[in-house]
Structure 1
Amino acid sequence: MAIYVVFQLLILPLSVTILFLYYLFSHKSRNNQVTNWPVLGMAPALVKNYHKIHEFATQLLKESNGTFKFEGPSVANLDFLVTSDPANIHYILSKNFNNYPKGPEFHKIFDILGNGIQNVDDYFWEIQRKTNVSLFNHANFHKLSVETLGAKVEKGLIPLLDHVSEHGIEVDLQDVFQRLAFDNICTLVLDHDPQSLSRDLPHVPAEKASTIIEVALYHRHLLPESLWRLQSLIGFGKEKRLSRAWKIIDEFIYKCISLKRQDSLNRSSENSSVVKSQEEDKPDLLETYMESYKVMTSNPDKFLRDVLFSLLFAGQDSTSTALSWFFWLVTKNPSVESKIQQEIQTALNPKQDDSCIPFNKKEDLRKLVYLQAALSEALRLFPPVALEHKAPLQPDILPSGHRVDKDSKIVLSFYSVARMENVWGKDCLEFKPERWITEKGGIKHEASYKFPAFNAGPRSCLGKEMAFTQMKMVAANIIHNYKVEVVYGHHIVPRDSIILQMKYGLKVRMAKRSSCSTW
């Protein structure tokens, strides 16, 4: 038995690696041609295009009418079907939703999410979805989310941007957006502001942990399970960094839970009707989750940790990544920037002496239709979650005619959908906000399986409206008050991660548009 384990974990992967390297360096294939090698399958082509995996997948899908069967090494269990066909996406995420849960492979790879909503099916997913719907529909929830971000923009983001613009400092705007999003989601969900966004840009380990985790999880997709489990066992490479980040996240969340419990006890002991009446209308997410899940499992704190981490995981990098690509696209398209500036002037009519007052009123932000169209276009081209996994419970036939077996791996390429001419037209690669404007001047609705940036079907993102409000608030304040210029020669490519971040960040210089200096 011991010999078999060693063979599985060490000798077999090593043998496959040697064969793989032989084929990789002794055979030259033409661009975009994928050879299905004996034993190795299509793995050599995957490694050759590792640095541009999304573009590689898109090219294969274009040549395969939107659906492609990838065959990995015969001993590695890495076969999967990848599709960008909207009909398949609609079928899997909506029409036949019950047959396509996350699947066993997803749970193995994303074990750090535990029983959080992004990682579970059936009962655990339904109870969390129901709780989130109840909270997100609270009369004052959106008001609280706008106030929370508005305060962080006014007291954190703008002073920082004033500082870097005044001193001509280069700044990584993606890092700034990640810090902003982390502080905001922690304040909203954990009732704790870690203050990672300030002038000196302090190192906050919990804020950096998500990027480390996302990179490690991405690499798990491309390695045989035996290899990444071996790395995890011996503490090596990205698995070692994942383990450290996991510990940091756990310590941070459990500390916030403990502080909230102590705060609740203190308030209860005060027995103050005045304090109670003042806070009755303010939704307290952490307290609500603590109450809702206190008897969920034999280890309620662990379940609560999973729920909270899933919310932080979704809330930090989705909006920050979207904003990063949005500003990069805007800097490349000055006419779009001018139209957004003009819309702010026309719709919000800021007075000259009030030009530095932040835009943080939801009713005002709703007027910025073109800005929302530009954000939608950025999300179309660069969806933060570029891939989705599914595994059928029962054998099935997709609308494209492809057969799928029980528990087989299906990858939905949201990134590729935007680059298909048969879906978005011959101008699909253009950054064109106008495609989102109706003839009457409103926002055009697109089916979620054609625009899956917020997922689709029963698992569609509950925070879509909140996300647009937050992104519009940040974008409007920056574009109105600053000129953003990407540092010359700065290389922009997607990071090797499950979240479509920029690998080298977004290095920019900021120039103040107005003469105001005080916030």
Structure 2
Amino acid sequence: MQLTLLQAMALSSSLPELLISTLVLVSLYLYIKFWRLRNPLYPMDWPVVGVLPSLVTRLHDLHDQLTVVLAASGCNFKAQGPVASGMRFFVTSDPANVRHIFTTNHANYPKGEEFAEIFDIVSGSIFTVDGEACRRQRAMFQSLLSNPRLLCSMASCCRGKVENGLLPFLAQMASTRTPFDMQDLVTRLVFDLTATPIFGVDPGRLSTNMPSMHVAAAMDTIMEVGLLRHTVPASLWKAIRQLNIGPERKLAVAHKHLHGFVREMTEKWKARRADDHDAVAAAMDIISADTVYKEDLLLNKILINYMIAGRDTVGTTLPWVFYNLAKNPRVVSMIRKELAPSASLKASAAGVSDVTPAGNMVMFEPEETKDLVYLQAAIFESLRLYPPGPFERKVVLADDVLPSGHQLHTGETILISIYSMGRMEALWGKDCHEYRPERWLSDDGAKLRYVAPHKFMAFNSGPRMCLGKDIAIAQMKTVVAAVVWNFDMKVLEGQSISPKLSCILQMKSGLMVTVSMREVCGVES
């Protein structure tokens, strides 16, 4: 059949487009093929758009993917975002580089203005500022967190919440064998532990009727949208914010919730202080810092910063600790053996038998858990595998050369994968993916091994080392000791336990567990 004149003209006009399309597809195929041959594990660095498409497609398991790439590339690699976006990344999990960035030449690696924009809810607070502003705020917090009355108040709050809130709730769940979300429970507990010493007022998130958690959900939103802001060009998320759509609209609502909560709690604190100053004298005097911070907005941001820092470290870590313990009964047994002498003394002092009735559950004081090295090793091992902050972000002020030999240029962004550092065979051995607290102990098991902060970054390193580290460890020890001694815990089968898309390593779908009261609550046999 002969082509009509119109068909011939249509074919001739579409031929160039067809040839161009074929050429583009072949070129793309060859580009992908040769890239994969040269860089089989690297994220695809596309023309024009850079690694952004690869990053977006791998967000669901971002941290594990980064670990694979870093392990294959000697702990370091460079990447870039779309053309004209200004996104130039150096990603590392090399301890020598970390020490250089965080300690040796830390002044050259601030968090930077873009970081403060990403977390604008706390801009101007210690979390986002650099230089003299950071030093000034750290000095203030250090003074507050070394106040004996405040430390006593925080320890008393932790003990009271565990004894009168957490343990009774777990006992109720044990009596009915009802499954519950351990992550949600811990979040409520730690929210109260963080807020009560600040404001001298208990928010009451951990209670029998389990009230709503709008404020905690707002904190989660900040960290989830924060990750999105980290991974796309600033111009894009700022445009979305301007339009007030999508995640930026959700974030705006979260900001309102948090500022409203802080204002409400501050007014309650002031009212209590007017009625009975001594009753709240141990509450964090940061609210009284309006002599230093005249602007209410900045004061609110500092208070929100403290709330997020307290809740997101301990509150994110504890569910992973309980998950690891539930999966490793041998470790639970070792912790109970370490707790047994204190439990025995308590039983003797109370004049009861070794087998304590379920109604008389055992509580352990901070001074009783302070020197328990295996308990601390079990917590540190969870922090190694599941750090609450899985990555750190820095910016390069001036050109520099890292110990690894990589050259960095002004304006480049550095991402330190703390999650990957905890899973590097070169750092932790061939069993680096295993949960084994013994790696933290001396050969005789009597004391903790020293591990340099630039290798174990859960509490940061250098001049920005976490000021609340000792408080966080003490609180976690108190909670874990009480739960492990008094209850057996099982993780419900069939769950997919993985991190959510967030700047903190929360579990995506929570941690559903059941608990049962231990029959033996005296000396471990």
Q: Provide the TM-score with structure 2 as the length reference.
A: 0.87
Q: Give 5+ residue unaligned stretches, structure 1.
A: 1-18, 268-274
Q: Could you tell me how far apart the structure 2 residues matched to 1:302 and 1:47 are?
A: 34
Q: 2:289 aligns with which of 276, 288, 292?
A: 292
Cα RMSD between the aligned structures? 2.2
Residue in structure 2 matched with residue 283 of structure 1 by the alignment: 282
2:87 maps to 78
Please list, as runs of the form range in 1=range in 2, the aligned pairs for 1:90-105 lying within 5 A after superposition: 90-105=99-114
Residue 480, structure 1, aligned to residue 479, structure 2: no
Secondary structure at 1:390 match in 2: strand
User: Per the alignment, in what secondary structure is the counterpart of residue 353 of structure 1?
Assistant: coil
* Structure 2 counterpart of 1:155: 164
What does residue range 381-400 of structure 1 map to in structure 2 within 5 Å?
A: 381-400=385-404
**Match status 1:325 vs 2:320:** yes
The code of the aligned residue for 1:488 comes to: E
> Please, which of 191, 195, 206 is the counterpart of residue 186 of structure 1?
195
Matched, 1:353 2:353: no
1:410 aligns with 2:414: yes
2:67 paired residue among 54, 58, 66? 58
Shift of 1:212: 1.5
TM superposition shift of 1:393? 1.8
Residue in structure 1 matched with residue 269 of structure 2 by the alignment: 260
| Superposed displacement of residue 329, structure 1 | 1.1
Q: Which residue of 2 aligns with 1:134?
A: 143
Question: In 2, distance between residues paired with 1:468 and 1:302?
Answer: 31
State whether residues 187 and 193 of structure 1, in contact with CA within 8 Å, keep that contact through their aligned partners in structure 2.
yes
1:365 aligns with 2:369: yes
1:423 and 2:462 matched:
no
TM-fit CA distance, 1:294: 2.6
User: For residue 3 of structure 1, what is the aligned residue in structure 2?
Assistant: none
Q: Counterparts of 2:299 and 2:364 in 1: how far apart (Å)?
A: 31
1:386, CA displacement in angstroms?
0.8
- Aligned AA for 1:306? K
Matches within 5 A, 1:293-308: 293-297=290-294, 299=295, 301-308=296-303
**Aligned letter for 1:134?**
S
Distance 1:431 1:310 in 2: 31
Q: Percent of counterpart pairs with the same letter?
A: 36
| Corresponding position: 1:438 with 2:438 | no
SS at match of 2:78: strand
One-letter code aligned to 1:384: P
| Secondary structure, aligned partner of 2:480 | helix
Q: Which residue pairs with 1:11 in the alignment?
A: none
**Alpha-carbon shift at residue 253 of structure 1 (Å):** 0.3
- Distance in 2 (alpha carbons) for counterparts of 1:142 and 1:360: 17
Tell me, yes or no, if the aligned pair for 1:396 and 1:405 is still in contact at 8 Å. Answer: yes
Matched to 1:312, the amino acid is M
Q: Does the 8 A contact of 1:347 with 1:368 survive in 2?
A: no
Match of 1:9 in 2: none
Give unpaired runs (5+ residues) of structure 2: 1-23, 348-354
Other structure's SS at 2:392 match: strand
Q: Secondary structure at the match of 2:488?
A: strand
Deviations 1:248-270 (A, max 9, x none): 00001012222223333344xxx
| Secondary structure, counterpart of 1:385 in structure 2 | coil
Partner in structure 2 of residue 217 of structure 1: 226
1:290-322 CA distance string (max 9 Å, x none): 33343435x2x1121111111100101211211
How many Å separate the matches in 1 of 2:266 and 2:210?
25
* Residue 15 of structure 1: aligned partner: none
The amino acid that maps onto 2:356 is: D
- Structure 1: which 4+ aligned runs deviate by more than 4 Å? 26-31
**CA deviation map 1:100-155 (0-9, x unaligned):** 11112211111111211101112321221111111111223332211101111112
**Residues 473, 195 of structure 1: CA spacing in aligned structure 2 closer, same or farther, 3 A cutoff?**
same
Give the drift of 1:358: 4.1
Q: How far does residue 515 in structure 1 lie from its aligned partner after superposition? A: 8.1
Structure 2 counterpart SS, 1:37? coil
Cα distance, 1:206 vs structure 2: 1.2
Does the residue aligned with 1:82 lie in a helix, a strand or coil?
A: strand
Residue 514 of structure 1 and its aligned partner are, at CA, apart by 3.7
Does the 8 Å contact 1:116/1:307 carry over to 2? yes
Aligned residue pairs total 481
Greater Cα shift, 181-190 or 31-40: 31-40
Residue matched to 2:339: 344
1:329 and 1:230 mapped to 2: Cα distance? 42
Q: 3-state DSSP class of the match of 1:388?
A: strand
**Structure 1 residue 332 displacement after superposition:** 1.5
Q: In terms of Rg, which structure is larger?
A: 2
What is the deviation of 1:99?
Answer: 1.3
Contact kept, 8 Å, 2:394 with 2:414, in 1: the verdict is: yes
1:377 aligns with 2:372: no
**Paired residue secondary structure (1:452):** coil
Q: 1:456 aligns with which of 458, 461, 465?
A: 461
1:23 Cα deviation (Å)?
A: 7.4
Maintained 8 Å contact 1:135/1:283: no
What does residue 270 of structure 1 align with? none
Matched position secondary structure for 2:148: coil
> Is residue 347–residue 367 contact of structure 1 (8 Å, CA) maintained in 2?
no
Q: Distance in 2 between matches of 1:190 and 1:318?
A: 19
